[in-house]
Amino acid sequence: MINQHYGKIPPAYLFSEVATRVKQYQDEHPSAEILRLGIGDVTRPLAAAVADTLQRAASEQATTIGFRGYGPEQGYLFLREAIVAGEYAPLGAPISPDEIFVGDGSKTDTAGIQELFAADATVAVSDPVYPVYVDSNALSGRLGECTNGRWDNLTYLECTEENDYRPSIPETPVDLVYLCSPNNPTGTTLSRENLERWVDWARATGAVILFDVAYRAFIKDDSVPRSIYEIPGAEEVAIEFGSFSKTAGFTGLRCSWTVVPRALHRDGASLHTMWSRRHATKFNGTPYIVQRAAEAIYSEAGSRQVQTDLDYYLRNAGLIRDALLNNGVPAVGGLNSPYVWFRCPGGLDSWTFFDALLQEAQIVGTPGVGFGPAGADHFRLSAFGSYEDTREAVTRLAAIIPTYSPSLIRSEN
């Protein structure tokens, strides 16, 4: 009667365990000032242009003329056109408004996209990886059994120091591959050359690339693609997921988009038509007022204000990255991403290092093991806190690292 695959998924204990350990420490040390660098949520308020638009749109709903109920299933045209003009046209990417579907968050869309594919479709993910990609396929029964944190029928593309924490093309055929750039949790990006190889591979094998660009707005390096559709031919092999959550503080408002190109077909079927049918069946649309607020991000004032917040978080990321590198701990991310990823110093596993940071420096981070087997001895720090807290945290980091990895400390000349 019930879906037995739910029982196969290991408990999603990472963040609940983090909360439990932090609460226990706080209860035992009520005066401790705990600095939270594990947070994946934004902390800056909405841009003024966005908030003002949200209020105006809400006022419209209180009028007979302005009231709107159910909106277009695919999203209001004004927002889909703004996304094309703001995200894709400047890149020369061949995407039109009718290929964009407005949603309520990339988590929802990346979890749902697997429903378009057969139950026996084979899947590859980067390791470490955003857990939703894995769990959604596990719930559909594609991944077999999970033993010691690894799924039998999942291809893991390990991202390690040796490959600069970037996934390599699978050696065995797969039907679907999830890629994220800038990556969560490693903060690394895929170059144009990287993406060209992926697109060529997908065109040659018939695989579909599921490309997550939730953190695209943090990219400062003009040589790093913000969209897979900057690569010729990608519209025949890739679906892209964009989000306003980290771009403009919409983690509470919820708004995203999915691009399913009309040129993307498999087994004689249009994936655009399939996603449109699925979207209409399971979703009644993002609220009008939220879509108006999202549109405001692309206004002159909105764009400027949002960029100010992005720069704020990137400054924090730079502080974290520099604190690690300057104390002899190799780290990636933090340049085009709000996340910094590094191997735990002194050979510690990620939970042991978590406890050390909490107990001795009152810093909360995210154990890498929560993102997959390859993260067992790694750690993620986030730049979404305040500048003042981040500055204090890196001072504490610099003090604790020598305790656990004296051999890593760069010698003074």
What 3-state DSSP class applies to 410?
Answer: coil
Contacts of 209 (CB under 8 A, 6+ apart): 177, 179, 198, 199, 202, 228, 234, 237, 238, 239
Residue 11 in this model has a pLDDT that exceeds 80? no
Classify residue 389 as exposed, middle or buried by CB count within 10 Å of its CB (0-12, 13-18, 19+). Answer: middle
Mean pLDDT along residues 269-289: 96
Give the C-alpha separation, 405 to 352, whole Å: 13
Residue 407 in this model has a pLDDT that exceeds 80? no
Residues β-bridged to residue 180: 212
Length of the chain: 413
Residue 410 in this model has a pLDDT that exceeds 50? no
Mean pLDDT along residues 298-311: 97
Q: Where are the alpha helices (DSSP H) in 186-341?
A: 192-205, 245-248, 271-282, 288-296, 300-325
Q: Which pLDDT band holds residue 292 (cuts at 50, 70, 90)?
A: very high
pLDDT tens per residue, range 355-386: 999 999 999 999 999 999 999 999 999 999 99
Residue 338 in this model has a pLDDT that exceeds 70? yes
Q: What pLDDT score does 41 carry?
A: 86
Amino acid at 365: G
Q: What pLDDT score does 96 carry?
A: 98
Q: Which pLDDT band holds residue 9 (cuts at 50, 70, 90)?
A: confident
What 3-state DSSP class applies to 6?
Answer: helix
What single DSSP character describes residue 226? S
Mean pLDDT along residues 151-155: 97
Q: What pLDDT score does 405 carry?
A: 59
- Give the mean pLDDT of the chain: 94
Q: What pLDDT score does 77 carry?
A: 98
Give the C-alpha separation, 162 to 326, whole Å: 21
Share of the chain above pLDDT 70, in %: 97
What 3-state DSSP class applies to 80?
Answer: helix
Mean pLDDT along residues 276-305: 96
Domains and CATH numbers, the chain: 4-45+301-398 (3.90.1150.10), 50-300 (3.40.640.10)
Share of the chain above pLDDT 90, in %: 89
Q: What pLDDT score does 304 carry?
A: 98
Q: Where are the alpha helices (DSSP H) in 224-286?
A: 245-248, 271-282
Give the C-alpha separation, 127 to 190, whole Å: 15
Please measure the distance between the N-terminal and C-terminal CA atoms of the chain and give it in whole angstroms.
Answer: 69
Mean pLDDT along residues 124-135: 96
Mean pLDDT along residues 280-309: 97
Q: What pLDDT score does 409 carry?
A: 38
Two tokens, residue 169: 């093309």
Beta carbons of 47 and 300 less than 8 angstroms apart: no
Q: What pLDDT score does 149 carry?
A: 87
